[in-house]
Chains A and B, each alone.
Chain A
Amino acid sequence: MKMSKKIITSLKKGGVNFYLSVPCKLLANMIEILEKDDEVYYSAVPREEEGMGICAGAYLGDKLPCIMMQNTGIGNSVNAIVSLLQLYQLPVVFLISYRGTPGEQVGAQGGMAKITEDILHTLKIPMLHCSSENDLNKITTFTEHAKIIESPVAILCDFDLMKDDE
């Protein structure tokens, strides 16, 4: 739970008070923490693209939203990111479990892993790539940055960092 606790604490410190998730086993502990947290809103959603819409509305309502998902979810959401979040400059934090990175046992996850950062580069979305516990120290500032530049930002958490977080 150590990494998951640190991630959620850092996001909250950065102002995130509205959370959605499309589940991943690497996000399971964070979801458990959020389900018990009365200070913030949390819900599961069926699909990432839909979650982008809900997050957009939450920001209009003066929340700072975060959607937690696998990197595959970026593929499901490209149009919503460009023609909603970026068009209207709506900050949303993407907390992404980076499936298909070293340590991954499911070979099929490798395909999206190979193109995830290219997609984010193409979309001009600032990225924080977390490979070690130390990297997590940057999450709070990075989250505040999203609000200041009025843009979605992406935090990528490597498979190896999260896999033993029990």
Chain B
Amino acid sequence: MNRFDLLEKLQESLKDKLVICNIGLPSQELYQINDQPNYFYMLGSMGLSSSIGLGLALSQNKEVVSIDGDGSVLMNMNTLATIGNRAPNNYTLLIIDNGSYGSTGDQKTFTNEATSLKEVAIGSGCKKVIECNGEDTSKRLDQAIEDKNNSYVIISRINSGNVSVKPIPIHPISIRDRFRKYIGLVPYL
């Protein structure tokens, strides 16, 4: 299973959730599979998907899922310490770990070698850390979202590989405004 297959399988689990999706191919694939107003596509700032989702989860009560990648988490690894200490129960971090920098030509990341993001997350203070394969991910994600008493970090280990997709044709301000409108907190939207 590669990332595109996994994102396709997760559509039911992500329905109605506030989803922050990682820059590059993950967002482009998600857009192509099933564009939704509750999906916030990152167009820049690699590494910050987990952080944007955390800020959103701390600010309102709806369920938030940050979709991140192994390369991006490695770029902002302190995020796991902040999540381990501060994440509220409406927050789930889903790390799609395909062991490669998919958007830049599938160069290998350190999760292919000695680094375990599961161990880093546990060492950072994250209490519910699940490592699973692609097939089990939607079930694990559903369970994480259903558990109203805990925040989760899920590391989904899948194969590398990308499909052919195009850049997202929505203006960043439109992505922002339809997302905020979906959340429903801003009266003028």
Which A residues are within 8 Å of any B CB, using their own CB? 18, 41, 43, 45-47, 49-63, 65, 79-80, 82-84, 87-90
14 contacts between A and B (CB under 8 A): A43-B86, A45-B78, A49-B48, A50-B76, A50-B79, A53-B47, A54-B54, A54-B55, A57-B57, A59-B55, A60-B176, A62-B59, A62-B60, A83-B44
Partner of A61, one of B43, B58, B78, B176: B58
Given contacts A47-B78, A54-B51, A54-B52, is CB(A87)–CB(B59) below 8 Å? no
In Å, the complex CA distance between A65 and B172 comes to: 20
Partner of B43, one of A56, A60, A83: A83
Flag if B82 contacts A46 (CB, 8 Å). Answer: yes
Flag if B185 contacts A88 (CB, 8 Å). Answer: no
Q: Does B152 lie at the interface of the complex (its beta carbon under 8 Å from any beta carbon of A)?
A: no
In Å, the complex CA distance between A144 and B93 comes to: 33
Given contacts A49-B48, A50-B76, A50-B82, is CB(A57)–CB(B54) below 8 Å? yes
Flag if A80 contacts B48 (CB, 8 Å). Answer: yes
Flag if A60 contacts B45 (CB, 8 Å). Answer: no
CB B148 to nearest CB in A, in angstroms, measures: 18
Question: Which residue of the partner chain A has the closest CB to B75?
Answer: A49
Closest A-B pairs by Cβ, 5 of them: A83-B44, A57-B55, A61-B59, A53-B51, A53-B48
Which B residues are within 8 Å of any A CB, using their own CB? 20, 40, 42-45, 47-60, 76, 78-79, 81-82, 86, 172-173, 175-176, 179-180, 183, 185-186
- The prevalent SS among residues of B at the interface is helix
Partner of A56, one of B55, B57, B78, B186: B55
* Chain B residues, Cβ within 8 Å of A90: 176
* Chain B residues, Cβ within 8 Å of A54: 51-52, 54-55, 58, 82
Question: Which residue of the partner chain B has the closest CB to A43?
Answer: B86
* Chain A residues, Cβ within 8 Å of B53: 57
In Å, the complex CA distance between A87 and B50 comes to: 18
Question: Which residue of the partner chain B has the closest CB to A47?
Answer: B78
In Å, the complex CA distance between A90 and B42 comes to: 13
Question: Which residue of the partner chain A has the closest CB to B78?
Answer: A46
Question: Which residue of the partner chain A has the closest CB to B45?
Answer: A84
* Chain A residues, Cβ within 8 Å of B82: 43, 45-46, 50, 54
In Å, the complex CA distance between A137 and B179 comes to: 35
Flag if B55 contacts A62 (CB, 8 Å). Answer: no
* Chain A residues, Cβ within 8 Å of B56: 57-58, 60-61
Most buried by B among A43, A58, A65, A88: A88
In Å, the complex CA distance between A69 and B40 comes to: 27
Flag if B59 contacts A57 (CB, 8 Å). Answer: yes
CB B10 to nearest CB in A, in angstroms, measures: 20
Most buried by B among A18, A52, A53, A90: A53
* Chain B residues, Cβ within 8 Å of A58: 55-56, 58-59
In Å, the complex CA distance between A50 and B66 comes to: 14
In Å, the complex CA distance between A83 and B48 comes to: 11
* Chain B residues, Cβ within 8 Å of A60: 40, 52, 55-56, 59, 176, 179-180, 183
* Chain B residues, Cβ within 8 Å of A46: 78, 81-82
Most buried by B among A46, A54, A57, A61: A57
Flag if B185 contacts A62 (CB, 8 Å). Answer: yes
